[in-house]
């Protein structure tokens, strides 16, 4: 049986001597690829043993930390300067707590940073959405008021040139009630809850230029009565004119005109204002 090593080349069978060579005073089998000699095995075994010993030494050094995690080890290292000071008789518990709190605060900020950014983004989106909803609501209210006022102006025969002026007043004085009706607010010296038609009747005395001139005389028609031209007023009391106004504009507006003059339909002439 051939051996992997011999003490001298003479010990090797003559027909196999070409496969051996002298290596550091030992005749070794080198002529067959992949064949490991005992020396190779010994070298490998020595390396494995050295690695095991190094691993064991490292494990023994780390065993002092027990089951502590990396974060816990770092926290302990943060306290090291304070502990060293304590060993010199300079123990400062406040410094230890400050170092620990600082590290904890940093960790919290890192963890909450993305969450806070997302919360800020959502808050901004919500604010923008609420603003958009409010704008849409205001636009809808304004459109509803304008539509109702245009209907009332058509009935009251307000001249086209005055309609934008009327709408400007209306947008400031009117609102949309819970039932969807358009009525005056409790503001601006106007009685609350008046529909556009009645409000226009009241405005006839204050804004007579919103109505057309009469055909012949150059004065405003009965729809724009003001002062003496109000047939229910003390100065302009006129039963014929009252009947004509009632026939042309209806009882609701005639009632508003009478009340504006200080009386009611069917009553006698009000006293003159002093």
Low-confidence ranges of the chain (pLDDT < 70): 31-41, 44, 62, 64-71, 73-74, 76-93, 95-96, 188, 213-229, 273-274
Cα pseudo-dihedral 250, 264, 270, 155, rounded to 10:
-20
Query: What are 101-113's pLDDT values in tens digits?
Result: 777 887 787 787 8
pLDDT of residue 144: 93
Q: Could you count the other beta carbons within 10 Å of the beta carbon of residue 248?
A: 13
Start-to-end CA span in the chain (Å): 150
The pTM assigned to this predicted structure is 0.39
Query: What are 22-33's pLDDT values in tens digits?
Result: 877 787 777 665
- 263's CB contacts (< 8 A; 6+ apart) are 232, 269, 270
- 261's CB contacts (< 8 A; 6+ apart) are 230, 232, 233, 234, 270
* DSSP line for 198-237: HHHHHHHHH-GGGSPBPSSSSSB-GGG--GGG-TTSTTT-
pLDDT of residue 220: 44
pLDDT of residue 83: 65
Q: Is 274 exposed, middle or buried (0-12, 13-18, 19+ CB in 10 A)?
A: exposed
């Amino acid at each position: 049986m051939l051996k992997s090593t011999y003490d001298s080349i003479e010990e090797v069978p003559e027909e196999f001597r070409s496969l051996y060579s002298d290596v550091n005073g030992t005749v070794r089998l080198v002529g067959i690829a992949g064949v490991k000699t005992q020396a190779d095995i010994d070298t490998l075994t020595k390396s494995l043993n050295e690695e095991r010993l190094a691993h064991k030494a490292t494990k023994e050094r780390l065993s002092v930390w027990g089951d502590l995690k990396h974060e816990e080890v770092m926290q302990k290292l943060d306290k090291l300067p304070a502990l060293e000071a304590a060993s010199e008789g300079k123990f400062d518990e406040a410094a230890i707590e400050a170092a620990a709190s600082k590290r904890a605060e940093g960790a919290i900020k890192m963890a909450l940073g993305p969450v806070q950014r997302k919360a800020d983004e959502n808050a901004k989106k919500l604010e923008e959405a609420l603003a958009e909803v409010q704008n849409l609501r205001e636009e809808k209210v304004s459109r509803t008021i304008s539509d109702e006022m245009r209907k009332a102006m058509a009935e009251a025969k307000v001249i086209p040139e005055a309609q934008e002026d009327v709408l400007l007043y209306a947008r400031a004085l009117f609102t949309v009630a819970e039932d969807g009706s358009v009525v005056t607010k409790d503001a601006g010296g106007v009685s609350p809850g008046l529909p556009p038609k009645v409000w226009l009747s009241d405005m006839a005395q204050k804004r007579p230029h919103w109505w057309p001139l009469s055909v012949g005389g150059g004065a405003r028609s009965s729809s724009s009565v003001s002062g003496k031209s109000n047939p229910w007023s003390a100065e302009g009391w006129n039963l014929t004119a009252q009947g004509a106004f009632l026939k042309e504009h209806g009882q609701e507006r005639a009632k508003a005109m009478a009340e504006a003059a200080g009386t009611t339909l069917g009553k006698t002439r009000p006293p003159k204002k002093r």
